[in-house]
Amino acid sequence: MRFVFLLLFFGVVNSNAQKVVWDKTNAFGLIPSEGWQIDRVEEEEIALIQKKQNLLGEVEGGHFSVSTASTHNWTLDELWEEYIIKGLPLMSGYEKVNSGTATVAGVKAKWIVYYSEDRGVRFRNLSLMVVKQNVMYVIAGTSLPESNEKVEKDFWSMINSLRIKEKKGYFELMPPGR
């Protein structure tokens, strides 16, 4: 009887385990938070979306993505300066909330929370950048300000679930573009 109970217990625990979503090349992946669906999975991007209707029929939720690009041998600090410090203030309605550092996938990351506008709609954004193995990972979470409190915890949960596979052997030896 004890054996049957253990089988049932581990079966339930295992069936509730969340599954990693990998990009098409299996180079990086993450675990979506509950209620988030896959929007698209590409070779260098994973995008998730959450849409929920509240009691008034209004859509709440957010958008979350991880994109990659070569660093071209730039450091995290150089990339951050070029894309975030210089680039974000050019956005319509840009207003910085706060910023900091974190450890993601075992390496130093930089993040920023800010507001932006698009066609008169205000958004709250979380952008995070990680550099590992000469690859820049840009993580972006976007929501309407009134939905942010509900999704920001999910953003950080998905960020902390990021997995990056180590490059090994043959793939390291291939020249870019081949």
Which helix or strand (DSSP H or E) is residue 167 part of? none
Is 70 part of any domain?
Answer: yes
Tell me what the mean pLDDT of segment 121-140 comes to.
Answer: 96
Residues 6+ apart with CB under 8 A from 153: 33
Mean pLDDT of 46-69: 77
Q: What pLDDT shows up at residue 113? A: 98
pLDDT mean over 51-78: 82
Determine contact, residues 104/130, Cβ cutoff 8 Å. yes
**Predicted confidence band at 147 (pLDDT cuts at 50, 70, 90)?**
confident
> What is the mean pLDDT of the segment spanning 163-177?
57
Tokens 């920023």 sit on residue: 112
122: in domain: yes
Q: Provide the residue range defining the domain that includes 135.
A: 18-166
Residues 6+ apart with CB under 8 A from 166: 133
pLDDT-derived band of residue 50, with 50, 70 and 90 as boundaries? confident
Does residue 171 form part of some domain? Answer: no
The length of the chain in residues reads: 178
The number of folded domains in the chain is 1
**Is the pTM above the cut of 0.85?**
no
Mean local confidence (pLDDT), 15-43: 86
How confident is the model at residue 1, as a pLDDT? 52
CATH value at residue 132 = 3.40.1000.10
Given this model, what pLDDT does residue 167 score? 73
Whether the Cβ atoms of residue 19 and residue 38 lie closer than 8 Å to each other? no
Q: What value does the mean pLDDT of the chain take?
A: 83
- In this predicted structure, the answer to whether residue 77 has a pLDDT above a threshold of 80 is yes
Q: Give the pLDDT confidence score for residue 156 in this predicted structure.
A: 96
Percent of the chain with pLDDT strictly greater than 90: 61
pLDDT value of residue 61 = 80
pLDDT at residue 49 is higher than 90: no
Specify if 79 maps to a domain.
yes
pLDDT at residue number 76: 98
pLDDT of residue 105: 93
Token pair for 174: 């291939």
Task: State the pLDDT at residue 146.
Answer: 86
Q: What is the mean pLDDT of residues 149-154?
A: 89
Q: Do the domain assignments include residue 12?
A: no
Query: Considering the domain boundaries, does residue 3 fall inside one?
Result: no
Please check whether residue 8 lies inside any domain of the structure: no
Taking a C-beta distance cutoff of 8 angstroms, is the pair 116, 92 a contact? yes
pLDDT for 79 equals 98
In a domain, 1, yes or no: no
